[in-house]
Structure 1
Amino acid sequence: MRMHRSIGLVGLTFVAVSGIIGSGWMFAPLLAVQHAGPAAMVAWVVGGIAMFFIAITFAEISAMLPVPGGIARVPQFSHGNVVALTMGWTAWVGYNTAAPIEVEAMLRYLDPQSGWLFTAPGSGTLSWGGIALSGGLLVLFTIINAVGVKFFTYANTTVTWLKIGIPIVIVVTLIASRFETSNFTAGGSFAPFGLQGVLAAISSGGVIFSYIGFRHAVDMAGEARNPGFTVPMALMLSILICFGVYGGIQLAFIGALEPGAVAAGWSHLALSGDTGPVGAVASALGILWLVSLLNAGAVIGPFGGALVAVGSNARIAYALAEDGLFPRIIGTLSRQGVPLAGMILNLFASTLVFVALPFDEVVQLNSSAIVLSFVVGPIAVVALRALMPERRRPFRLPAVHLVAATAFVISTLVVYWSGWDTIVRLGLCLGVGAIVLGIVALRPNRPPLDLAEAAWLIPYLLGIGVISYLGAFGGTGAIAFGWDILVIAVFAVAIFAVAVRCRLSPEKADAYLTEEHRLELDNLDRPAV
């Protein structure tokens, strides 16, 4: 049975959009203005541009090599199995926490009407009834994905239209109801906290982390129709669409605030409600039907995010089986052409998350495990230019060295901004992965590990750890805010140069590409490329 290339441009774009727009759009506007004031608008622009740089590096690669579970497979062709397995492992761990996070977010919004879901009001600890319902929802998402990629795409596209439509209705209604232009200079200026405030909103205010869901389009590129066009367009459109949604919500939120709410300063702005600060603004304006719509959005948003996470993670598990980390059976396909064995493995892993870990720990593990995977795009796109210069590139990145180096710096900043506690968890996650990789390496007839090509990885991880420990994001603060960004930038540029030089030899790259062609013939319903 083969995978089917049946996801079109709208379907793949909405896979990424659904990953980006969850429940966070109701809270991010408050977090951003607390750091930057009205200049939070600038933070969304800068954050969108920054994430766009990362996305377009993946756009060239995924258009050229549209493979399932791209984040786990792409490094195989540029830096070999150790880098591919490391990135794939961290992505798999992170993705297995993504669906539980979204499901529990749904239940937290439902809890005011269903108090039996948690052990006590406001406890944040699921009751056994809540765990059972959560597990049932994970089963539902697995079934939707197992029916086939066409049905999954239809279901996700339907949900995503609602996820886009609800914020648009909210933006238009809030602007029409009250738009205080004076709010944009409250506190004496448009940017009361200056450039540092804008950077803080991007890093700590949730801006940059709101955009990272674009990665799902990379993981499902192996099932896209006309991938040379569809994949890069979906990546770029998803960033633009979500910038419109988040920027619109931010604009409407600032304008709809009652001027007295910011009299004590933007950093002291506090709004509460079951549907977050946006819901509190709607309640203050007396628009009760809008509050009801927010309630619906608070459930629909996480529903779509969890649905996509389950589908995307199945492709990561499939890719890890192809890479040799998971048993071969995980890389088999069902009659519907989907990696059902991987979905079942992930279902057990995700269900275990509900039982074993508290919600806050799950959120931190999610961030730590996923953010690292973004660094592979910038180094791989340059390395593959050298290794496969004649290969057809439907989308060709201009000024590739400059753009890729910039994207690598941004990716490294995203890892650093996740904070020292998160970096520690990332280290633990990688430690477990190293043990698993060591066990796999001892198997009979196992291909040798590409250790030389991964020589940049350990200095990179140790360097981030040291800077994070000394930095301003949960560290000791020995390196002050601002200077830490400069240190990270210089460090990342140096590692980028080394990592590109550590690429595979042309002979090894050809061998991996030949193996991929064999897999294409065995598993993919697509023309030869």
Structure 2
Amino acid sequence: MSSVGALTKTTYKRDLSLFNLVMLNAMGMIGSGWLFGALYAVSYAGPMGAIFSWILGGIFVIFIAVNFMEISPMFPLAGGSTPLAEMSHGKMTAFLAGWSAWLSDIMTPTIEAIAVVTYASFYIPELINSNGTLRPYGYLVAVIVMILIFVINMQKVKIFGNITSGVMVWKWAIPVLAAVTILTLTFKPTNFTAFGSFASSGPSGIFYALVLGGIIFSFEGFRAAINMAGEVKKKDYIWKSVIIAVIAVIALYVLLQTAFISGINWAAQGIPAGDWADLSAGGYIAGPFAQEAAAIGLGWLVVILLIDAIVSPAGAGISYAAYPARIFQSMAEYGYAPKLFAKLNAKSHIPLNSLILGTILGFIFLYRFPSWQLLVGILTSTLVVAYVLGPAAINVFRRTAPDKERPFRLPGSKIFAPIGFIVSFFIIYWSGFPLSLEVSVVILVGLIMYFYFHVKNGFGRRHITAGLWLVAGLIIIPIESYIGPATYGGKNFVPFPWDFIMIAITGIILYVWSQYSGWKTESLEKYLKDESSETG
């Protein structure tokens, strides 16, 4: 093991096959998104627009993910985007990457707890309001679920540590079973062809669905194989597994979306036929597929769906609750956060202080965003800030570490990187105003802590100047959201499609700026030197 400051490189046993990686990725992408995404996507985009949104969302994720396929295997380090950003753009950029990833991973157990409560309201209506927000009893149950998740992680119980074939079959079989059954028994072609069949609310609805409908959130599990880069049998398995898994999951979500649209019973819900926007304010909000199964008398399917609605989100919440604790521990080790949070508990060997902090902040997010639909937008946009580092770093490393071994070298990086970079900022923009502003505020407020440790540890001025492109982006995008079309919450000073041109130009400028800002940092130099001494 060699170290670069707090950057540690670990050698793993390479046992993971292509099938293992595809299943890891796919399982990470089949969570509470399948339980609610179809409802909110069609509410924003209309029937055919929703189907198109799932395909578009998968393509966008591929453009972001492929950049990590090259750089993550190059540096198999703990801490996610943080060490990669430190080596490509310095400490302030690394802090912002770690901070945004930390915040989004804190929100994940929270949103999964909300998913459990929302589906439970199928039998206990007192848990949620008619608009999907939690009622007092709903808050109580969600808090209990989050505390249980905390206790399990505190005891170091690795429920999902071993991926068994049974879990794989369950995660795939239940959504497919629900979709095929509902589609077979309730196929209604008119739901696809009538009532403004493509994009009932215009082009803006398609892009709103990507963020606020939970589509991008549903694909966030693509990280699994990339995070396991040091344990794969063959280097080309990484990129192959990501592409195969994303395409397979696109197909699954399109099937689910098609089934949900087909099964909509307007009269039973008391909603005028074709009033897509009001679907998310009706009875479907308590469990879209469970409601459809109940409407056609499939009690057995309702029971299975309710079990899955508890097991899958709770499992994902347990799994993700471990991530933010370790991210913040890494940030403390790198010198960006109080050393108190770098300590491991002597008994359980977990970062208990970081776990406690993350759980407390999770309660705050639960109070501020008390429904699945309200939380998914800020979670998605916050996570994307961490993802933008992949497209920003790949060609910087081509320049600063040209001789570094690359288990996978991305063809066409000069095309994929800028597109993935620009798409990332578009996703934040599509969250709309004022959500885009809230995303920027919760991320930029972290700089108060960073600057304290910057001065304390004497990091150097270049670490600030090299990260200004990201700070500028987080300031500019909310302003552009504010002056953009009213459909995104703006004042309509810049109408569609000129707003898209505006964001694209901003993205290009920020991308070029990020490329000039990257340099051969001290961390990168030391990593390469230590690696050379090991192999030499």
TM-score range, shorter chain: 0.7 to 0.9
Task: Indicate the residue corresponding to 2:490 in structure 1.
Answer: 475
Task: Indicate the residue corresponding to 1:214 in structure 2.
Answer: 222
Task: Indicate the residue corresponding to 1:458 in structure 2.
Answer: 471
Say whether 1:20 aligns with 2:32. no
Correspondence for 1:86 among 85, 89, 96: 96
Task: Indicate the residue corresponding to 1:423 in structure 2.
Answer: 436
* Distance (whole Å) between structure 1 residues aligned to residue 465 and residue 79 of structure 2: 24
* Distance (whole Å) between structure 2 residues aligned to residue 195 and residue 158 of structure 1: 41
- 8 Å CA contact retained: 1:416, 1:468: yes
4+ runs deviating over 6 angstroms: 1-4, 114-122, 259-263, 332-336, 515-518
CA-to-aligned-CA distance 1:201-256 (integer Å, 9 cap, x gap): 335433333323334554x3366344834543443343223212211101222233
Greater alpha carbon shift after TM alignment, 205-214 vs 466-475:
205-214
Secondary structure of the structure 1 residue equivalent to 2:445: helix
Task: Indicate the residue corresponding to 2:417 in structure 1.
Answer: 404
* Distance (whole Å) between structure 2 residues aligned to residue 163 and residue 30 of structure 1: 20
Say whether 1:510 aligns with 2:518. no
> Where does 1:247-258 land on structure 2 (aligned, <5 Å)?
247-258=254-265
- 8 Å CA contact retained: 2:328, 2:341: yes
- 8 Å CA contact retained: 1:26, 1:275: no
TM-score (norm 1): 0.84
TM-score (norm 2): 0.83
CA-to-aligned-CA distance 1:127-161 (integer Å, 9 cap, x gap): 65763453123221444xx356xx64316875454
Correspondence for 2:505 among 482, 490, 505: 490
- 8 Å CA contact retained: 1:27, 1:276: yes
Task: Indicate the residue corresponding to 1:201 in structure 2.
Answer: 209
* Distance (whole Å) between structure 2 residues aligned to residue 280 and residue 116 of structure 1: 17
Say whether 1:310 aligns with 2:325. no
* Distance (whole Å) between structure 1 residues aligned to residue 303 and residue 117 of structure 2: 16
Secondary structure of the structure 2 residue equivalent to 1:340: coil
Change (3 A) 1:278 1:378: same
* Distance (whole Å) between structure 2 residues aligned to residue 189 and residue 113 of structure 1: 33
Task: Indicate the residue corresponding to 1:67 in structure 2.
Answer: 77
> Where does 1:258-297 land on structure 2 (aligned, <5 Å)?
258=265, 264-268=273-277, 270=279, 271-273=282-284, 275-297=286-308
Q: Structure 1 regions of 5+ residues with no counterpart?
A: 522-527
CA-to-aligned-CA distance 1:159-212 (integer Å, 9 cap, x gap): 454232210111121222232334332236555566555444335433333323
* Distance (whole Å) between structure 2 residues aligned to residue 127 and residue 188 of structure 1: 37
Say whether 1:350 aligns with 2:371. no
Task: Indicate the residue corresponding to 2:369 in structure 1.
Answer: 360
Change (3 A) 1:365 1:37: closer
Task: Indicate the residue corresponding to 2:42 in structure 1.
Answer: 33
* Distance (whole Å) between structure 1 residues aligned to residue 456 and residue 329 of structure 2: 19
Cα drift, residue 310 of structure 1: 1.9
Say whether 1:58 aligns with 2:65. no
Return the letter of the residue paired with 1:104. I
Return the letter of the residue paired with 1:399. G
Task: Indicate the residue corresponding to 1:139 in structure 2.
Answer: 151
Greater alpha carbon shift after TM alignment, 400-409 vs 132-141:
132-141
- 8 Å CA contact retained: 2:21, 2:241: yes
Secondary structure of the structure 2 residue equivalent to 1:264: coil
Greater alpha carbon shift after TM alignment, 507-516 vs 251-260:
507-516
- 8 Å CA contact retained: 1:216, 1:312: no
Correspondence for 2:183 among 165, 168, 175: 175
Cα drift, residue 119 of structure 1: 12
* Distance (whole Å) between structure 2 residues aligned to residue 108 and residue 258 of structure 1: 21
Task: Indicate the residue corresponding to 1:393 in structure 2.
Answer: 406
Cα drift, residue 122 of structure 1: 7.0
Change (3 A) 1:66 1:241: farther
Cα drift, residue 89 of structure 1: 1.1
* Distance (whole Å) between structure 2 residues aligned to residue 425 and residue 339 of structure 1: 35
Greater alpha carbon shift after TM alignment, 295-304 vs 190-199:
190-199
- 8 Å CA contact retained: 2:108, 2:320: yes
* Distance (whole Å) between structure 2 residues aligned to residue 85 and residue 185 of structure 1: 49
Return the letter of the residue paired with 1:241. A
CA-to-aligned-CA distance 1:369-398 (integer Å, 9 cap, x gap): 323112111111111111122222222212
- 8 Å CA contact retained: 2:444, 2:471: no
- 8 Å CA contact retained: 1:11, 1:154: no
Greater alpha carbon shift after TM alignment, 110-119 vs 229-238:
110-119
Say whether 1:441 aligns with 2:451. no
Task: Indicate the residue corresponding to 1:43 in structure 2.
Answer: 53
Greater alpha carbon shift after TM alignment, 78-87 vs 151-160:
151-160
* Distance (whole Å) between structure 1 residues aligned to residue 211 and residue 134 of structure 2: 28
Return the letter of the residue paired with 1:213. G
- 8 Å CA contact retained: 1:159, 1:300: no
Cα drift, residue 73 of structure 1: 1.8
- 8 Å CA contact retained: 2:106, 2:361: no
Return the letter of the residue paired with 2:296. L
* Distance (whole Å) between structure 1 residues aligned to residue 310 and residue 190 of structure 2: 33
Secondary structure of the structure 1 residue equivalent to 2:463: coil
